[in-house]
Amino acid sequence: MTSAPIDRARELLESRFGHGAFRPGQERAVASILGGRDTLVILPTGGGKSLCYQVPALVLDGLTVVLSPLISLMKDQVDQLVARGIPATFINSSLSASEISARMGQVQRGEVKLLYVAPERFDFGGAGDRIAAVGVSLLAVDEAHCISEWGHDFRPSYRRVREIRERLGTPPTVALTATATPEVRRDIAHSLGLRDPDIIVTGFDRPNLRWHVIRTKNDAEKDGTLAHLLERHQGAAIVYASTRKTVDRVAARLGKAGLRAAAYHAGLDDEHRREVQDAFMSGAIRVIVATNAFGMGIDKRDVRLVVHHAMPGSLEAYYQEAGRAGRDGATADCVLLHAFQDRFTHEFFTRAAHPERNVVEAVFAAACRSADNDGLVDGDVAALAASASGKVSDREADSAVRILVTSGAMHHSVGSTSMARVRLLATPERIKEELGGEENLERDLLRALWRLSRGGVAEGAVVDLGLLPSGLGDPYAVTERLDALEQRQFVVWNRIGEGLVVSAPASPLSKWNVDWDTLDRRRQSELAQLDVMQKYAYTERCRRFYVLRHFGDPAATPTCAQCDNCLHLAHAAVTDEAPARAAATKGRKKPPARSKAEDEAPLDDDAQDLLDRLRALRSELSRAAGMPAYVVFPDRTLRAMALARPRTPGAMADLHGVGPAKMEKYGEVFLAVIRDD
C-alpha cells in the first residue's frame, strides 16, 4: 500500500536531512505544496524555509525550479543538497557556457531534482524554453520579498517572475521569505499571480536573540566599540557595514587588533569571495566584515554575534541580517552601532535611486542634446550627469536613465552582432600567471584577438568577432567570455553601435508614459521605512516588542528579558584609542551573560579533549568534500557525542542530528575516534 505524500515527506525529512520532525509551520507548508496549492511561507531566519520546498521536491515527480537572487545562496544550498546525496545543481553567471550546457543536459535527462537559477538567466541561450520543455512540478521563489516594491530588497528582475511562471506552464508555486509585513505579503501574492494561496506565518519572534543599540558619535567610536565587543564575545561574528570602503577599513582595523577577520563585498572577485565565505563557514576566520551582499541563505548556525556598523535602511533588512545570529537556538547578541548621521547616507541613496522629476527631465534633455541623427547618445551615464542642468550625481543619472528606458523614452541598443571594440588591460605576465595551463579558452581568446588586431587591442581596436577561430565557440560563448574577462579586469569591450538611444529626440518627454506617481510613492515608502528603523534605534521601550508589533506578530508583549532597555543596560561607546578592557556599559556593569551553548552541561577535561578531536575530524571531512563543517555535523551534535560517548551505531543514531543518511556516511569514522578515547 502506497503511503500518503506527507508520510513520505516525513520519512525523507529523517533519512535525507536527519530531522525527526518538522518545525512549526514546515509540515503545514509541505502538505499545502504536496496538495498542489500555491503557498506563501513566512518563517523567521533559521526557521527552515528551504526544507519547505526541498522535501516536496523529493516527493514529487519531475523537476523543481528554485528562483534565487544570489550566486552565493545557490552555491551554499546546492553544496548541502549534494552532500546529502540529493541531485541538485544551479546555473548562473559564474559558469562558462560549456558548464551551463552540461548542466542543462543533466536537467533534460531527468538527472536533477532541484535546479537553482536566477530570474535573468531565463533569457540566455534559450534556458527558459529548455526548462519549460522538461516540465516543472514545482516553482519555488526564494527570498520572495525581493519581488515587492514595498519590500526592503526590491529587485526589478524579480518583477519578471510572474512571466517566468507562465512560461513554465504555471506550476504550483511556493514563495518564501523571513521578513514581510502584511502589505508586502499581499504584494507578493498579487505580483506572482498566486491562486488562493495558503499563507503560513509562524511568527517572527527569535527568543534566543538579545537586542542592543549603542549610540556613537563617529567612526572612531564605532571602531573602538566594535573591537571591544569582539574581544568580549567568543565565537563566530558577522559585522555589517554600509559601503565597500568601510568594510575594507574595518576588516583591516580588526586584523591589526589581532582578530581573525576578513572583508567580503561585491567588489572582490568571485574566487576571493568564495575563499572568504568558505573560511568563515569552516571556522578558519572568526569574523567576517561584509556589506549586505553576504548572508542571504548562508546557513552558519553558530554565529554568536551580529554587529551593524551602521543603521540599515529598514527594520525588515535589519531583522533579517541580525537574524543570522543564533540559528542553532543558543543565545546570541545583535548590536546596532548607531550615529544620527547614518540616516543621511540612506537618504542620499534613496533619492538617487528614486530621483525627483526635475532630475529625470534634466537627464533626458542632456541625452537629447548629445544624440546623433539616429538618437545614439554620445557618452555614458557619467557624461549625461556632467552635462545635465543643475547638480546631478552619477547615481541619480543612472536611475533617471532606468526610468526613461522603462517608459520607452530611451532604449539600449545592442549594437553590431559581430563588430566590437576591445582594449586589453592585463599585462602578458598577469595573463600567463592567472590564465596558464594546458587548456584555457579565455587565454586562447585573448591570443586570437591579439593576432586578429595585429596587436591593436593593446590600445583598443575594432575587431570582427565572426573572424575568430571556430574552436572558441559560437558568438554567444565568445561574448560571455569577454564579459567574464571584463569582470576580472583583463579587458574592456563593447559592441559597435552599442549604447543608449533616445527614441524620439525631437519629441518632448511628455510624449512618454513616465509613471511619476509610482516613483514618488517608492521614494516616500523607503523614507518611511528609514523613519521606522531610526525610531527603533531611539526607542526607550522594549525593542523586541517594537519589532514584533511592526510585523503584526501577536507574540509581541510590552517587555522581555532580551534587550538592553528591558535589562536596563545603558551602553556607552568606546573610543578607538580607549583600552579594550574599559567597561562598555554604565549603570549595570555586568557583562552580557554567557551564551546558552556555553552554559549547557559542562565538559570535563576528557570530554573537551574528545570534542576537540571530533571537531578536527569534522574539519578534515568538510575540507575534503569542499563544504561547510556544520553540514557534516553541527556543534550541538559533536557536543552530544563528547558527553554521551556512544560506542555502537544504535547509540550514535539516538543522538540529536544523527539521521540515517548521516549515520551511513559518517557514523563509523566518528565512532572510531570515540572508541579510541
Asked if residue 599 belongs to a domain, the reply is no
What does residue 463 show for φ and ψ, rounded to 5 degrees? Answer: -130, 150
Q: Cβ(436)–Cβ(85) under 8 Å?
A: no
Q: 241 with 295, same domain?
A: yes
CA distances, 464 to each of 27, 125, 425, 599 (Å): 58, 21, 19, 68
Q: Cβ(663)–Cβ(649) under 8 Å?
A: yes
Q: 355 with 325, same domain?
A: no
Location of C-alpha cell 560563448 = 477
Q: 223 with 320, same domain?
A: yes
How far is it, in rounded angstroms, from Cα 45 to Cα 180? Answer: 12
Cβ burial of 66 (10 Å; 0-12, 13-18, 19+) is buried
What pLDDT sits at residue 206?
87
How far is it, in rounded angstroms, from Cα 136 to Cα 170? Answer: 9
How far is it, in rounded angstroms, from Cα 225 to Cα 573? Answer: 6
How far is it, in rounded angstroms, from Cα 496 to Cα 490? Answer: 19
3-state secondary structure 64-79: EEEECCCHHHHHHHHH
User: Is the alpha carbon torsion for 349, 353, 355, 359 positive or negative?
Assistant: positive
At 675, which amino acid appears? R
Chain CA centroid to CA 507, Å: 42
Q: 197 with 218, same domain?
A: no
Secondary structure element (H or E) that encloses residue 295, with its range: none
Q: 434 with 447, same domain?
A: yes
Asked if residue 524 belongs to a domain, the reply is no
What pLDDT sits at residue 583?
37
Counted domains in the chain: 5
User: What are all long-range contacts of 196-199, with beta carbons under 8 Å and residues at least 24 apart?
Assistant: 196/37, 196/38, 197/37, 197/38, 197/39, 197/40, 198/28, 198/29, 198/32, 198/37, 198/38, 198/39, 198/40, 199/39, 199/40, 199/42
Asked if residue 104 belongs to a domain, the reply is yes
For residue 75 the three cell numbers come to 552555491
Q: How many CA within 13 A on the CB side of residue 168?
A: 27
Q: What count of residues does the chain have? A: 677
Q: 178 with 232, same domain?
A: no
Q: Cβ(57)–Cβ(89) under 8 Å?
A: no
At 80, which amino acid appears? Q
Q: Cβ(410)–Cβ(404) under 8 Å?
A: yes
Question: Which CATH number characterizes residue 124's domain?
Answer: 3.40.50.300
What does residue 239 show for φ and ψ, rounded to 5 degrees? Answer: -115, 120
What is the DSSP secondary structure assignment for residue 341, as one 8-state letter?
A: T
How far is it, in rounded angstroms, from Cα 238 to Cα 350? Answer: 25
Q: Cβ(354)–Cβ(526) under 8 Å?
A: yes
pTM exceeds 0.85, yes or no: no
**pLDDT for 243-263, tens place per residue?**
899 999 999 999 988 899 999
Last residue of a domain, one of 159, 174, 201: 201
Asked if residue 528 belongs to a domain, the reply is no
Q: 300 with 158, same domain?
A: no
What pLDDT sits at residue 593?
38
User: Is the alpha carbon torsion for 550, 322, 350, 338 positive or negative?
Assistant: positive
Q: 273 with 404, same domain?
A: no
What pLDDT sits at residue 577?
47
Chain CA centroid to CA 29, Å: 23
DSSP bridge pairs for 413: 499
Closest CA to 77 of 299, 225, 261: 299
Cβ burial of 471 (10 Å; 0-12, 13-18, 19+) is exposed
Closest CA to 628 of 69, 75, 68: 75
What pLDDT sits at residue 496?
78
Secondary structure element (H or E) that encloses residue 461, with its range: strand 461-464
Which residues of the chain fall short of a pLDDT of 70?
Answer: 1-3, 46, 72, 123-125, 149-156, 293, 295-299, 576-602
Asked if residue 308 belongs to a domain, the reply is yes
Asked if residue 529 belongs to a domain, the reply is no
Closest CA to 301 of 41, 39, 555, 639: 639
Which residues constitute the domain of residue 646? 605-675
What pLDDT sits at residue 296?
55
Closest CA to 641 of 664, 623, 615, 622: 615
Q: 192 with 216, same domain?
A: no
Chain CA centroid to CA 598, Å: 29
Q: 218 with 321, same domain?
A: yes
Asked if residue 521 belongs to a domain, the reply is no
The 10 Å CB-count burial string (b at 16+, else e) for 74-96 is: bbbbbbbbbbbebbbbbbbebbe
Asked if residue 388 belongs to a domain, the reply is yes
Q: 176 with 286, same domain?
A: no
DSSP bridge pairs for 91: 117
CA distances, 527 to each of 150, 238, 402, 530 (Å): 11, 26, 20, 5
Last residue of a domain, one of 167, 201, 235: 201
The 10 Å CB-count burial string (b at 16+, else e) for 122-141 is: beebebbeebbebebbbbbb
Last residue of a domain, one of 593, 623, 638: 593
| Interhelix angle 51-59/26-34, nearest 10 degrees | 40
CA distances, 405 to each of 178, 215, 387, 521 (Å): 32, 42, 19, 19
Q: 219 with 134, same domain?
A: no
Q: Is 676 helix (H, G, I), strand (E, B) or coil?
A: coil
